[in-house]
Amino acid sequence: MKITPLDIQQKQFRIAFRGFDVREVDAFLERLAEEFARLTRKNGDLRKEIEKLKLDIRDFRDREKAFKQAMVNAQKTLDDMKNNAEKEAELIISEAHVKAEKILSSADTRLYQLHGDISELKRQRMQVELEIRTFLEAHTKLLDMNKEAMETEEEAEDKLKFIKST
C-alpha cells in the first residue's frame, strides 16, 4: 500500500486516556508530511532525470552504433579503394609490359630487316665491285690487245719502211 503526504496529513489518531499530546503529534505529522512530500518530489525529479539519462544513453548508444557503422563503412571504402588502386596499378604495369614487348618485338623485327638490308647492300656492293673489276679487266685486256696490235702494226710498218729503204 502506497502512502502519500496527504495520507500522513489526514491521518487521525484516536484519543485515549493518557494518550499523546495531540498538538505534538499533529506538528510531527505535519513535519513528516512535508519531508515526505519533499522526498516524493525529489524522487519524482530523480525519476525524470533517470528517464532523461536513459534517453541520453540510448541516444549515445545509437550514435556510437552509427559511428561504428560509419567507421566500418569508411574502412571498407578505404579497403575497396586500395584494392581498386592495386588492380589499376597491376593493369597499368601489365599494359606497360605488353607495350614494352611490342616495342621490343618491333625493334627486333626492324633489326632483322636492317641486317637483311645490310647483307643485301654488301652483296650488291660485291656484285658492283665484281662488275667494275670485270669491266676494268676487260678494258685493260682490250687496251693491252690494242697496244700489242699497235706495236705489231708499228713493227710491221718499221719492217715495211726497212724493206722499202733497202
Residue range of the domain that includes 40: 5-165
Q: Above 90 in pLDDT, residue 87?
A: yes
Count how many domains the chain has: 1
Q: Output the CA torsion sign for 22, 25, 28, 32.
A: negative
Q: What is the pLDDT of residue 155?
A: 85
pLDDT digits (tens, 9 = 90+) for 21-49: 778 888 888 888 888 888 889 999 999 99
Answer with the residue of higher pLDDT: 99 or 20.
Answer: 99
Q: Which pLDDT belongs to residue 92?
A: 97
Q: What is the DSSP string of the chain?
A: ----HHHHHH------TT---HHHHHHHHHHHHHHHHHHHHHHHHHHHHHHHHHHHHHHHHHHHHHHHHHHHHHHHHHHHHHHHHHHHHHHHHHHHHHHHHHHHHHHHHHHHHHHHHHHHHHHHHHHHHHHHHHHHHHHHHHHHHHHHHHHHHHHHHHHHHHHHH-
Measured distance CA(42)–CA(163) in Å, rounded: 174
CA 59 to chain centre: 39
**Is 71's pLDDT higher than 90?**
yes
Confidence of residue 1 (pLDDT cuts 50, 70, 90): low
Q: What is the pLDDT of residues 95-151, one digit of tens each?
A: 999 999 999 999 999 999 999 999 999 999 999 999 999 999 999 999 988 888 888
Q: What is the pTM of this model?
A: 0.44
Q: Which residue has the higher pLDDT, 8 or 32?
A: 32
